[in-house]
Every structure is written in C-alpha cells, then in structure tokens.
Amino acid sequence: MAAVDELLAELRAHLRAAVSYTTASMPNDVYEGFLFSLVIATARKSGAQIRYQDVNGSMASNLVFRTSPGWLYSTARNYTHAVLEFGRAPELEVHIGVKVQGNSGVEHECDVVVLDAEEADLCRFARTSPRASKCLLVIECKYYTGHLPLGQARGFAGLSADLGRRAHPIFVANTGSGSVTKYLTGRTLSRELHVVPRASEVEGVQSLIREAFKDHVGRRDSGLRVY
C-alpha cells in the first residue's frame, strides 16, 4: 500500500509544480491528486499542451486542490484546474472534487473530472454544475487501508448509469477484492484496482485515460494523432 509521501512524490513529478498537499494531508485526498496527476501525465505523453489556472483564469504555479466536494464555480479558495489543448480540438479542463449533474438531473460528487472548457466557462458564469454530457472523463478514486467494500462498486454502477458512456467513468482503487472485481467486470464497467505508484496497474489506468482523449480528438481533430 502506498504511503502519503510516495503518492506526493509521484504526483509532484507528474505535475511539475508545487501542490497544496503535505505529508499531513488525508491519504484519500492525496490519492485523488495522484489520479489527477496521471491524467496530466497521460495528456502530456499524448501530445497535449498543458497549463494550470486558478478560479480567476490566471496562470497558477502553486496548485491548490479541493479536499472536499464542491462546485466548479466556487471561489471560496483559489482552487486550481488544468487546461489541456489537443491541436484544433476544443480545450478541456481537469478538476478535482467537483459536482456533476447526471442525466437524471441529480448532482454527483466526482473525484477527478475532465470536461469541455466551454462548459466549464458556462458553469462559472451561470453558477451551475457541469452536465455529464459535457464530461469526457470521470474517475472515482477509492483509497482504503483494508478491505474494499462491495458497496463502493454498487455505488459506482449507479453513478456510471447516470453519467452515461460519454463521461467514460472509471473506478480506481489502491486496493481490491474479488467481489468488487467480479461485480464490475460482470457489468462491463471500466475499473483498475491496486493502482499505486510504480505498480503495473498504473499503465492500465493511463490506457483508459488515453482512450478518452483519443475519442475527444477523433471527433474534433481527426488529423491529430494521440500517442
């Protein structure tokens, strides 16, 4: 099991910036940051231009992340998000811990979200939550020091159904269990368990992230190759 300092070292290396997490941060919060950093690392390897912005749209070098779910438009703190640019395809934003409106109209707390930058701008202007139909990727992050409960998999199944296929929902955990694996596999839901720094499963997560990017670019800039 990865300790907080291992997660911090890995995410700092991927983000190439100072972050608001410390060794005293809650492991589940840092784990979300770790998955955020895998999105950034995958985007960079796939050819994206990356920049970090604060809630006012200014460039950020000291990254401040949420440690509890909130609204994308919140200015309670100067939270950071990433902006990804793949050629001529519309820009994307990557956020930690924001609420997303499912297709049912119900809001869900999502750990890591990649969405259309235009939708993010609309949310900041209208003070609304992003729509699932405008999300490219949603990662549900679970960090446990013991057994991974089956209930987490059941909850993810409901979340996936309400978000829809375009959101490419992925269940990621630092540990696992046979029942969780069997449940998610039986429902053909995307998942990767035992994901910790330097584990081979990290490649599995990045492969799923890359597929979401390829889908986005393929629909918007068919001439651009995503590696």
Q: What integer is the mean pLDDT of 10-16?
A: 96
Model pLDDT, residue 218: 79
pTM for this predicted structure: 0.95
pLDDT of residue 183: 97
How far is Cα 78 from Cα 171, in angstroms, rounded to an integer? 28
Query: What percent of the chain clears pLDDT 70, i.e. is strictly above it?
Result: 96
**For residues 63-82, average pLDDT:** 94
- Beta strands 62-63 and 18-19 are parallel
Is residue 225 over pLDDT 70?
A: no
Share of the chain above pLDDT 90, in %: 88
Q: What is the mean pLDDT of residues 211-225?
A: 78
The residues facing 92 across adjacent strands are 84, 116
Amino acid at 132: A
Query: Angle at CA 63, nearest 5°, toward 61 and 137?
Result: 115
Let me know: does 196 contact 6? Beta carbons within 8 Å: yes
Tokens 């001529």, residue located: 88
- Residue length, the chain? 227
Question: What are the distances in angstroms from CA 189 to CA 5, 87, 120, 172, 222?
Answer: 31, 30, 26, 11, 27
Ordered domains of the chain (ranges, CATH): 4-220 (3.40.1350.10)
Q: Which tokens hold the place of 96?
A: 């930690």
* Across 173-181, average pLDDT: 95
Is the per-residue pLDDT at 222 higher than 70? no
pLDDT digits (tens, 9 = 90+) for 26-36: 999 999 999 99
Q: Which residue has the tokens 């492969």?
A: 207
Question: Collapsing DSSP states into helix, strand and coil, what is residue 101?
Answer: strand
**221 pLDDT exceeds 90?**
no
CA quadruple 195, 196, 198, 202: dihedral sign: positive
